[in-house]
Structure formats: structure tokens, C-alpha cells
Structure 1
């Protein structure tokens, strides 16, 4: 009976169209990643590209087929709600990344684009240290999520093939 249930479950899963994401395929062989100093999103992007694609990340923008420019990265925290006694109950965390992708000729393949993420952080005065750790974890998660979103947008880029004109 267990085998029948297992086979039925596997066939339903296959029939629904589910498949693992697999390896990303970027439409260029080499890429240069430019990012503001001190922001780990550039390192995350380089790691994602190296691990999940056949595209090579190189250290010279002039030799790259495409350049991914991380223009700005911003973290922000605002009070979202307060109690009747005036104590903070929730914070709203914001993470914004602006980027663009240009090819070797300077043509924008992806014009300046922004990814904006937000998370809600419940807050209690009794757990200040724990909430600081939770905030750092949420910011790290938003950074990782934005790097994944940038990689998916890079995958969607279509590069026009230049064919030689017949003489």
C-alpha cells in the first residue's frame, strides 16, 4: 500500500509541472560586478553567479561582456506602531538596492532598476538583545533575497545577435 501511495504522489507531483530551479543561464560568458565598498551584496552576487551559472565573474570591466553596477544599497528602520503607553511595538525594516546592467559597448541591457524589500520586526523591551539579533538576521535575509532577484532579472536579459551582412 505504501508503494502505491508513493507512486501516486510522485506521478501527481510530476504532472503538476513542478521542477527544481536548476542552474541559471546568463546570456553572456563574462561579467564584471561593480558595487559600493562595504556592502556584502556584491560578494553575494559574485558567489551566486559563480555557483549557479556558467558565466565567469572577472575583475576587469573592460574585458567583460557585461557589467552589473550596484548603484546604491540602503537599509532603513522606522517605527511602525506604538503601544498606548508610547512604547515601540513594531519596527518596519526597509532594504533597497538600485542596479543596472550594461554591455561592453555601454548599451543598457537593464536600465536603472530598484528592488525594495520590507519586513516587520515585532519589538519588546524585555528582549532587546534578541531583537537586535533578529533584526540583523532579517537584514541579511533581505540582502540575500535581493541578490536572488537580481540574478533572476539577469537571466531574463535578451541579447540581440549581430549577424554579418551579406556582401
Structure 2
């Protein structure tokens, strides 16, 4: 009798696993059937693109990485060989005090990432006029946790750079090319 109770108890977890597996497969089939897809990087309307980022630009490095991985656009080193040029007009990090403590020390900062660019074709005609993207994040300050706050600040800037690259790719993908 004890043996049959053990066998039936061991079947219950097997049934649960089986039902969970069918539920997972069913959910995946429903999502695929309705056309759901994860967001992909936008396809750029250029076969070749020259990007005018500074060699040490973190935004430039992330942009190049994402274009190489996801886009059918080839990045070229010579602007004369490019179908279009992304000209970087401004890339700037800013840090502004927005609140003080009762002792007069900075308590809260606003971090900003400001980026200006334009896109021109091989003939120098403007495809996208000068455009500015500005991202900001707030961060509190603490005299006790100086090192961790510096790390948090750097992490927030990296996060903003990634967001900015996504916005930049979407703007470039939306450029309407004349026939």
C-alpha cells in the first residue's frame, strides 16, 4: 500500500511539468500567431554610411556596434565612398545641481546628455537638418557614499548613451530618401 501511494505522489509533479510545458508551447504559439515580435533595430535607408564620431566617443562605439550587428548598412571610413554622412555637431555630458541640503551642500544633480547631428547625402544635400537629442536623469548625492555615487553616475550616463543610440537609429531609419 505504501508503494502505490509513493507512485501516485510522484505522478503529480510529472503531470504538473507536462501541463506547464504544454502551457508554454501554447503561449508561444499564440504570440507567434498574432504577429508578436521583439523590437529589432530599425533598417537604415542607406547602403553605406560614414559616421563622424570622435574616435573616443562612447556613443560612436555603441552606434557602430549596433549598426554592424543589426543593419544591412555598411559603415565606411572614407566619407567620399558613403551614400550618406552622419555629421556629429555636438556630443556633451552635463551635470547641474538642482537641490541643496540644509548645510548648503549639493543634494541632487541632473545629468544630461546632449547630442546634435545632421545627415547629408553624397552630394552634400541635407537629408536631416541639425537635430538635437537631450536625455536627462536625476541622481542624489551623498558625502558618505562618494564612490558608489560616482559609479551610479557613470552607469546612468552609459544607460543614456544606449537610449540615445536607439533614438538616433530610429531617426535615421525614418529619413525619406528621394527617388
| TM-score bin (small chain) | 0.7 to 0.9
Larger displacement relative to structure 2 (4-13 or 120-129): 4-13
Of residues 121, 124, 131, the one that matches 1:106 is: 124
1:11 deviation in Å?
Answer: 5.5
Secondary structure, in 3 states, of the residue corresponding to 1:148?
A: helix
Structure 1: gaps spanning 5 or more residues: 162-167
1:25 deviation in Å?
Answer: 1.5
The alignment of Structure 1 onto Structure 2 pairs a total of residues equal to 161
TM-score by length of 1: 0.86
The 1:84/1:13 distance shift into structure 2, 3 A limit, reads: farther
The 1:146/1:4 distance shift into structure 2, 3 A limit, reads: same
Of residues 68, 73, 93, the one that matches 1:50 is: 68
Matches within 5 A, 1:86-101: 86-101=104-119
Of residues 164, 169, 176, the one that matches 1:146 is: 164
1:120 deviation in Å?
Answer: 0.7
**Deviation digits for residues 32-89 of structure 1 (CA, Å, limit 9, x no counterpart):** 0012454222222222111110110001101100000111111111111122222322
Larger Rg: 2
Residue aligning to 1:40: 58
1:90 deviation in Å?
Answer: 1.2
Residue aligning to 2:176: 158
After superposition, the CA RMSD in angstroms is 1.9
Greater share of residues in helix: 2
Residue aligning to 1:28: 46
